[in-house]
């Protein structure tokens, strides 16, 4: 089965995809507009069954967990009907020609999955390089590189800045997923980088997910550095991966505008104490003083700062996972 080119940016993706991996354009946007029109007509007629049926047709066309899908599911619930089960072919399904013969099907499955992964990787790479095509991002990157080069040498400085850039592009990807316009990353020599968004997230849950997306992509950058270290044996890759892990762990500090502070905003007191406990355990295992500092701040914010009444369990799980992942890297991935 051939790939499909996005009409918006030209990125190729699998026919079963629901969203372009580069520009995040909805694949079935035109059909969704038609479904919305049918649902609006049914609503004007006060036809709840017809409106519910129309919205149910939109669910298989939207990515799971997206804000649009959640809104539609909530509307269907208001109408007194459950969201219809997805009837479209799942993303992992083989094309029809691959169902003949066990060995052929197994080979086809491997090739089909590899193709999807390659398309996804190409899309992510194209998305990452798109940010550096902006003049302000590129020249601020060069300026920061010059500062860090004078301190650590050009190779480590470049790897460290690329890891920082990937972290920031994680925020950009999450902002686009929630439909929030954002600038490409801007670097401040010697201080870091930031992304400016043009409107605020609708909920603390959205803001928490946008905040934690940076460390999540930063984890990918750290792991990629260790893969390069395993392939080449060059210690500088381990040093870059270890530093990237430390940088992203620092961003989990639950204060002010750091990513951890945005994640904490969606958690209740008990959930914040769970995060503090995870930090304490990581501190005991790694001996990293930074984790102890983050844990103390987490306890303070859990007990004395404003908090939500209804917590966000997925955000809690994501927070704890990132703590565990970076702690593991800091323990096992120290460069020689």
Which are the contacts of 129, defined by CB distance < 8 A and separation ≥ 6? none
Residue 117 predicted with pLDDT over 80: no
* The predicted structure's pLDDT at residue 166: 92
- DSSP class of residue 201 equals -
Token duo for residue 186: 């801007």
Token duo for residue 265: 């905003």
pLDDT in tens, 254-293: 887 789 889 988 999 899 999 988 888 888 888 888 778 8
pLDDT in tens, 21-37: 656 677 788 888 888 88
- Give the C-alpha separation, 91 to 82, whole Å: 23
- DSSP class of residue 3 equals -
Q: Are 267 and 308 in contact (CB under 8 A)?
A: yes
Q: Are 175 and 212 in contact (CB under 8 A)?
A: no
Measured in residues, the chain has a length of: 336
pLDDT in tens, 61-92: 887 777 788 888 888 888 874 444 444 444 44
Q: Sorting pLDDT into bands at 50, 70 and 90, what band is 47?
A: confident
């Amino acid at each position: 089965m051939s790939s499909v080119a996005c009409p918006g940016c030209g990125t190729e993706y699998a026919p079963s995809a629901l969203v372009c991996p580069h520009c995040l354009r909805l694949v079935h946007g035109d059909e969704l507009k038609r479904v919305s029109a049918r649902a609006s007509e049914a609503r004007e007629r006060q036809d709840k069954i017809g409106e519910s049926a129309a919205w149910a047709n939109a669910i298989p066309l939207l990515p799971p967990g997206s804000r649009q899908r959640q809104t539609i599911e909530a509307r269907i619930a208001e109408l007194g009907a459950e969201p219809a089960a997805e009837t479209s072919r799942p993303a992992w399904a083989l094309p029809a020609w691959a169902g003949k013969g066990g060995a052929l099907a197994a080979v086809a499955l491997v090739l089909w999955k590899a193709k999807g992964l390659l398309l996804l990787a190409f899309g992510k790479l194209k998305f990452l390089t798109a940010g550096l095509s902006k003049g302000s991002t590129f020249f601020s990157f060069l300026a920061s590189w010059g500062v860090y080069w004078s301190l650590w040498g050009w190779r480590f400085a470049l790897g460290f800045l690329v890891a920082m850039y990937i972290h920031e592009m994680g925020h950009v990807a999450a902002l686009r997923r929630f439909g929030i316009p954002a600038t490409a990353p801007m670097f401040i020599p010697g201080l870091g980088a930031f992304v400016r968004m043009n409107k605020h997230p609708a909920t603390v849950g959205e803001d928490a997910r946008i905040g934690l997306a940076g460390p999540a992509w930063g984890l990918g950058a750290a792991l990629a550095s260790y893969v390069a270290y395993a392939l080449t044996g060059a210690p500088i890759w381990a040093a870059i991966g270890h530093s990237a892990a430390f940088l992203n762990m620092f961003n989990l500090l639950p204060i002010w505008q750091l990513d951890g502070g945005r994640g904490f905003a969606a958690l209740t007191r008990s959930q914040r104490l769970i995060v503090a406990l995870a930090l304490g355990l990581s501190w005991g295992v790694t001996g990293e003083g930074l984790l102890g500092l983050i844990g103390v701040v987490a306890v303070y914010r859990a007990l004395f700062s404003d908090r939500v009444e209804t917590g966000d369990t997925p955000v809690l799980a994501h927070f704890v996972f990132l703590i565990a992942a970076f702690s593991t890297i800091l323990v096992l991935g120290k460069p020689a």
